[in-house]
Structure formats: C-alpha cells, structure tokens
Amino acid sequence: MIPTDNLGCVMLRCGTGSYEPLIEPEWAANPDVLPDYCEGTAFLNPNALHLTLKYGLMPALVTGEDVDEALAGWRPPPILFVTGFELFGGGDGWKALVATVENPPVLQQANHWLSLLPHIDTWPGYRAHVTLGYIKSGLHIGDFDPPEIRAFITREVFHSGLERRTDQ
C-alpha cells in the first residue's frame, strides 16, 4: 500500500486585503493533530491563505522543478470570487474550512497540467477552493456565520512536500 500522509501539494497564495480575523481562535483545531501539509495555514491572518491547485503529488517522483516546468507560462487569475463555504474531509480532530470559488478554466488548466505528474488521486475531481483554516472536528458549517469575504487576490504559486533538485 502506498502511504498517502506525505503527498505533495501545489498551492496558490491568496489574501483578502483585509486584516479582520477569519475564524475565532476557539474554533481552531489543535495543531498537533494536523497533517504536515496543513502546516502554516493561519486562522487569524486573512492574507496567509491558499488555493489548492493539486494535491497528491508523489514526492519521491516529483520535484519543485517538475512543478515549475508543468506550470511554465501559466498565469493565475487576478481575482477569485467566493461562491460559498464548506467543510472538507479532515482527520481525527479536524476538518478544513474552505471558501468555494468560481472555477475559471485557467484553474482547471493548471490542475490538468499538474495531473500529468506522478500523483495519487486522494480527492478525485478538482474543486477550486481557498482553505481558510482547520477547525475542530465537532463543529459544523452552521455553527458560525461565514466571514464577509468578497474576493481573494492571488499572489504566487508555491508547493509543500516537494524537494528541490540540487546541482552536484
């Protein structure tokens, strides 16, 4: 069996342009129960968010340079419009709170190009979303009022769990 707990992820940095907290601190999942790929997602910083372009890349076979090559010439949309809020997957003690966004063809294109790299489809079918943070597993979408977010300003592509090749 191939382990799926340390797969690579390619993301697009996002922010709201606001400095209002997105999620109440008491809703936050304990960081100790979160997988490695959740590291760095801030609940209280609305300008440290990410849109997932592709999750499931195999780090033993895919490098950061492979990602750069796959996305060569690709440009992200300047603004992402929020269409709703959902809870995704999760694990023992946590769920991901996400804002669903309009899914322009340019995001589908990036996901398709990245899907040509070795990967495991742990989440078949691409659904564009911005991860707002990770909440305690006992909470439900109706437990809070969604934040007043109108658009996300995209910044740059980055990846997690994929090494860079080093010249020898």
Give the DSSP letter string of 18-78: --S-SS-GGGBPPGGGS-GGGTT--SS-TTSEEEEEEEEE-TTT--HHHHHHHTTT----S
Give pLDDT, residue 107: 92
| Contact indicator for 149, 16 with CB cutoff of 8 Å | yes
Give pLDDT, residue 166: 45
Dump pLDDT digits (tens) for 39-64.
555 455 566 678 888 888 888 888 88
| Contact indicator for 98, 86 with CB cutoff of 8 Å | yes
How many Å apart are CA 116 and CA 110, to the nearest integer?
Answer: 10
- Tokens 């860079």 locate to 164
Both tokens assigned to 3: 């382990």
| Contact indicator for 49, 14 with CB cutoff of 8 Å | yes
Give pLDDT, residue 37: 60
Query: Could you tell me which CATH number the domain at 8-160 has?
Result: 3.90.1140
| Contact indicator for 42, 48 with CB cutoff of 8 Å | yes
Give pLDDT, residue 114: 92
How many Å apart are CA 149 and CA 88, to the nearest integer?
Answer: 19
How many Å apart are CA 39 and CA 117, to the nearest integer?
Answer: 23
The domains of the chain are located at: 8-160
Q: Give the mean pLDDT per block of 10 residues along the chain (168 residues).
A: 66 74 71 66 62 85 89 87 82 82 89 90 80 81 68 67 51
How many Å apart are CA 85 and CA 141, to the nearest integer?
Answer: 8
